[in-house]
Amino acid sequence: MKNFYAIIMAGGIGSRFWPISRSAHPKQFLDILGTGKTLIQQTYERFLKIIPAENIYIATNESYIPLVKEQLSGISEEQILGEPIMKNTAPCIAYASHKISLLNPDAAIVVSPSDHLILDQEAFRKDILLSLEAASGNNCLITLGIKPSRPDTGYGYIQYTTQTIENSFHKVKTFTEKPNYELAQTFIQSGDFLWNAGIFVWSAKSILSALHEHLPDMNDIFREGASKLNTEAESGFIHHAYFQCTNISIDYGIMEKASNVYVLPTDFGWSDLGTWSSVYELAQKDYLGNAVIPSENVMMYDSSNCMVKVPKDKLVIMQGLDDYIVVESNNTLMICQKSHEQQVKQIVADVKSKFGTLYN
């Protein structure tokens, strides 16, 4: 266990959950599902059952460091990695991996987003431990794949082969980003595709080797600053380093290029909570299919299949709406057809163009 580490990525702005998720207070720091705990708190507590507390690192935008400290009382200053600018997941993982490798060259690391939902905690724990053990003994890059329940066009897909290591981890054949519906249907019918959960497991040695091979310029930036990592000079170095890094995801930068990528098929009740519709699917609904969070002060008339999230002290009356998202927060009310919710990102951009950062 002492060699097991976690990197929780918590730097995104969650624009698809606007107006509740704002750039100053994004969705990972919110209680989206009304459970009493924010998404990052749930993720942190999930890993505390697997990883020693001192080995859990939070990678986030430096402007969110106060929120991390406020919400995760057990985290020390040294365990929060502040990013000066958003540069996607590869620089974040390179930074954290070099830092951890210097502390423990024998580390096995799990990398996870901070804003996903896991329903079967025990199955998740077993799959992560199995993956950490496999990563410790093999030169491989492991990704967790979710057994698909439907031909969803919002997820990436992983195709795997019958070749395995440790009997459970299948060699990855292809990655496909968000296919159209017809292609997604073909993937489901073929039986050898999984959803890409964006959860990775590898040894420090394996990921540093992959960075050296596939993202050498980025790897050199952090390797050359090794003497500053885990010292008081780290923050200053990172400010300089991040502006030199390419803006690229770990998927494009490494996982789609490396020859030693393996996937573990899993089924632990996963959702990336990427949209209001994904929250609607998971939320409790009344007999007309309405999901209302919280429900005390919302009155519905001739309305069905709606997703409603409003402040507790707001009286809301809805009449004659079917299949709508109704969300109020931060002096903003949004009413949007569920089938058109992919436009929310554009709406956010339009609002910013018209009003500046007032409502963003």
For residue 267, what are its two tokens?
């089924």
Kindly state whether residues 103 and 215 are assigned to the same domain: yes
Whether residue 19 has a cis bond before it, omega within 30° of 0: yes
pLDDT tens-digit readout, 153-207: 888 999 999 999 999 999 999 999 888 889 999 999 988 999 999 999 999 999 9
- Last residue in a domain, options 219, 245, 271: 271
Confidence category of residue 357, pLDDT binned at 50, 70, 90:
confident
Give the integer Cα–Cα distance in Å for 243 and 89: 14
Is the per-residue pLDDT at 295 higher than 80? no
Confidence category of residue 302, pLDDT binned at 50, 70, 90:
very high
The dihedrals phi and psi of 89, each to the nearest 5 degrees, come to -90, -25
pLDDT attached to residue 146 = 94
Say how many domains are in the chain: 2
Is the per-residue pLDDT at 330 higher than 90? no
pLDDT attached to residue 15 = 81
Pick from 192, 109, 92: which is nearest to 145 by CA? 192
Kindly state whether residues 331 and 212 are assigned to the same domain: no
Kindly state whether residues 265 and 297 are assigned to the same domain: no
Is the per-residue pLDDT at 91 higher than 90? yes
Domain of 252 in residue numbering reads as: 4-271
Is the per-residue pLDDT at 92 higher than 80? yes
Kindly state whether residues 220 and 346 are assigned to the same domain: no
Structural domain includes residue 360: no
pLDDT tens-digit readout, 106-126: 999 999 999 999 999 999 999
pLDDT tens-digit readout, 258-291: 999 999 999 999 988 888 888 898 888 999 999 9
On average, the pLDDT of the chain sits at 93
Report the SS3 class of residue 28.
helix
Kindly state whether residues 285 and 260 are assigned to the same domain: no
Confidence category of residue 61, pLDDT binned at 50, 70, 90:
very high
**pTM higher than the cut 0.95:** no
- CA 293 to each of CA 31, 41, 46, 313, 332: distance values in angstroms, whole numbers, following the listed order: 11, 19, 24, 12, 17
What CATH number does the domain containing 241 carry? 3.90.550.10
